[in-house]
Structure 1
């Protein structure tokens, strides 16, 4: 009878360890993204924007931005990023957007060095956003010559 108790104890311990690991994985994954310039999907980006008022920063050129962007995105071209970081809110997550996601990875490193804590990169960039059928806003020049 002692043998059954011992075997059940082993099963219980294995179950507890497996449960602990399964509970820890999402937390570890979330921690790996937050502040590390981790990539997030378009779905995760939309959820983050809705839940925590994440700020979309489009680092493409002003011309590319004008031709189409995420509707609530703010355009800060890559070459102006360092100068404009002080104007970014410190208490909101920042989601960086470029065409495909590669340039945004470099921008994430810059923001982290300048103490922006929650920095994410939109995986696949604006291309993934449009492929997923999400809205894109075209900007028109206002007040210019006709």
Structure 2
């Protein structure tokens, strides 16, 4: 134990960096828990779509959607989501898989859906980038 204390006294910058990294990891875990929805990978998303009849919600902009999207995905850009929630009302009791390019916009959309009473919200981990990296099919219709 004495060696650890000596190391900490001799390397304050390394110790500060260690504390910062640990703090960021803990904060990230708490943030994930507080959001109230789960992250799923591409394979789990496919299972939800095929077996649980999940709605796939793409919250990217229209141009991004036209460049390629998950088959049968509904496109509502994040900026319009709250004003178009009535289009999703019939899906409140079904699983909803939300995605964007990387996952940042999808996290915000997931929080909106949770607040509006959607029961089973899932965010595609890594977004469209992870979907294409997993060699999953795209639709351009």
TM-score (norm 2): 0.71
**Is 1:106 the counterpart of 2:108 in the alignment?**
yes
Moved over 2 A (4+): none
SS at match of 1:60: coil
- Which segments of 5 or more consecutive residues in structure 2 lack a partner in the other structure? 1-31
- Which segments of 5 or more consecutive residues in structure 1 lack a partner in the other structure? 1-31, 140-146
Partners of 1:102 and 1:45 in 2: how far apart? 17
- Bigger Rg, structure 1 or 2: 1
Paired residues, number:
107
Is the helix fraction higher in 1 or 2?
A: 2
- Give the RMSD, CA atoms, in angstroms: 1.7
Partners of 1:39 and 1:133 in 2: how far apart? 19
**Is 1:54 the counterpart of 2:47 in the alignment?**
no
TM-score (norm 1): 0.69
Aligned to 1:117: 119
Partners of 1:65 and 1:75 in 2: how far apart? 7
Partners of 1:108 and 1:131 in 2: how far apart? 22
